[in-house]
């Protein structure tokens, strides 16, 4: 019903946003924070000397940002897009520091999805991006997250995508195409019906953005191919979107998120349920969340960081992991499961906490064990 109401609203020109409840998810986040306080107080003397709940900064939801805070975040992204690339021979097509982040994700996609490093790699990746905004572009805030349940039932009217100067830009213009194939055109296990867009983004701060790398495994059949098989060649094109209300209301509701957290008794179940089971027609909150924007590059597993929305989405992924961990931090922090290959195909060795997270030119490598707590390693943050 809500999906139909959204379509009617779009056709009639109404733009009144109706946020859905995120009460279940937020209640679990509050529970996690209370439990984390008990965990911290139970640790030996000296724990938290470098970072504690009192000194940690707080990542906040996008709509809690003031207009000025949103502009400062957006301006920092635009700044990163203007700074020259340092990727060198790794990514011949990279032209900006923003491209450097996309390049390392493309280069490592086969070892950071459906593997034991999925959560920790993306935690460090998102943190490193946040630090680049601060250290290289003068941003004084922190990485926001997008709490999917608030938007899942009225995605087209969500202020974050309204095309204003304080949005993450709007939907694309209309472009006829045959739908979205997940995980890719080559393996269309799930086909999302076309939305109302699919073309270039023409409103908001990123309307003139140029995507230069990818695609590698496009989800739409009209994405211009990259001149290099690895997707790292120069391939300039517009940012395209086709926001999928269909996916959002089926896989990113408050019930979806609370079920993920409460029904996952171990890290293996949690990370696999989060990422979906495509042959069984199940997207999961991670993949579905990418199709809040979809198209090109957002719908390509490899190239998705090419859309600036990616980092709000992955901050929410990290928040979900943070909640799951801190419901029982005694047993859920230093845990790892999975191998080094996507869904263990082909079979490979088990991942360990001593494996190194490599972000190339973007940051020094760290061990996974240094990325499993947001209060240790290079981190010092929590979520509110």
Stretch 129-138: mean pLDDT, rounded? 98
**pLDDT surpassing 50 at residue 93:** yes
- The total of structural domains in the chain comes to 1
Question: pLDDT tens, 306-357?
Answer: 999 999 999 999 999 999 999 999 999 999 999 999 999 999 999 999 999 9
Count CB-CB contacts under 10 A for residue 281.
Answer: 11
Identify the three-state secondary structure at position 220: coil
Give the pLDDT score at 15: 65
Within-domain flag for 136: yes
Within-domain flag for 205: yes
Question: pLDDT tens, 5-21?
Answer: 444 444 434 469 989 99
Q: Is 198 exposed, middle or buried (CB count within 10 Å of its CB: 0-12, 13-18, 19+)?
A: buried
User: Per this entry, what is the length of the chain?
Assistant: 384
Within-domain flag for 111: yes
Stretch 284-300: mean pLDDT, rounded? 97
Within-domain flag for 2: no
Question: pLDDT tens, 37-89?
Answer: 999 999 998 888 899 999 999 999 999 999 999 999 999 999 999 999 999 99
Within-domain flag for 17: no
The enclosing domain of 211 has a CATH number of 1.10.1280.10
Count CB-CB contacts under 10 A for residue 24.
Answer: 18
Within-domain flag for 14: no
Q: What angle do CA 288, 291, 292 make, to 5 degrees?
A: 105
Question: pLDDT tens, 267-285?
Answer: 999 999 999 999 999 999 9
Within-domain flag for 103: yes
Q: Is 84 exposed, middle or buried (CB count within 10 Å of its CB: 0-12, 13-18, 19+)?
A: exposed
Domain of residue 149, residue span = 25-383
């Amino acid at each position: 019903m809500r999906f139909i109401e959204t379509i009617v609203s779009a056709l009639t020109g109404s733009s009144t946003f109706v946020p859905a409840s995120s009460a279940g998810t937020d209640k679990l986040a509050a529970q996690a924070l209370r439990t984390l306080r008990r965990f911290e107080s139970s640790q030996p003397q000296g724990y938290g000397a470098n970072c504690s709940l009192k000194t940690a900064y707080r990542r906040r939801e996008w709509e809690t940002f003031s207009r000025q805070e949103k502009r400062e975040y957006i301006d920092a992204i635009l700044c990163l897009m203007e700074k020259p690339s340092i990727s060198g021979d790794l990514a011949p097509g990279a032209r900006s520091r923003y491209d450097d982040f996309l390049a390392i994700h493309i280069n490592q996609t086969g070892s950071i999805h459906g593997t034991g490093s999925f959560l920790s790699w993306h935690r460090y990746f998102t943190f490193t991006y946040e630090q680049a905004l601060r250290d290289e572009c003068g941003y004084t805030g922190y990485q926001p997250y997008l709490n999917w349940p608030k938007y899942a039932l009225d995605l087209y009217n969500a202020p974050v995508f309204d095309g204003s100067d304080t949005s993450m830009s709007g939907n694309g213009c209309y472009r006829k195409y045959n739908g979205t194939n997940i995980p890719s055109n080559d393996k269309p296990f799930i086909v999302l019906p076309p939305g109302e867009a699919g073309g270039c983004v023409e409103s908001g701060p990123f309307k003139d953005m140029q995507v230069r790398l990818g695609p590698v495994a496009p989800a739409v059949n009209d994405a211009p191919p990259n001149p290099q098989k690895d997707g790292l060649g120069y391939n300039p094109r517009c940012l395209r979107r086709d926001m999928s209300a269909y996916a959002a209301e089926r896989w990113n509701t408050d019930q979806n998120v609370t079920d993920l957290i409460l029904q996952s008794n171990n890290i293996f179940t949690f990370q696999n349920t989060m990422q979906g089971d495509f042959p069984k027609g199940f997207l999961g909150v991670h993949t579905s969340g990418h199709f809040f924007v979809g198209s090109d590059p957002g719908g390509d597993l490899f190239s998705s960081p090419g859309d600036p929305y990616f980092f709000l989405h992955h901050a929410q992924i990290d928040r979900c992991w943070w909640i799951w961990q801190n419901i029982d931090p005694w047993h859920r922090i230093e845990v790892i499961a999975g191998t080094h290959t996507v869904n263990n195909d082909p079979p490979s060795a088990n991942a360990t906490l001593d494996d190194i997270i490599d972000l190339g030119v973007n940051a020094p490598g760290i061990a996974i064990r240094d990325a499993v707590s947001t209060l240790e390693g290079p981190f010092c943050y929590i979520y509110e």
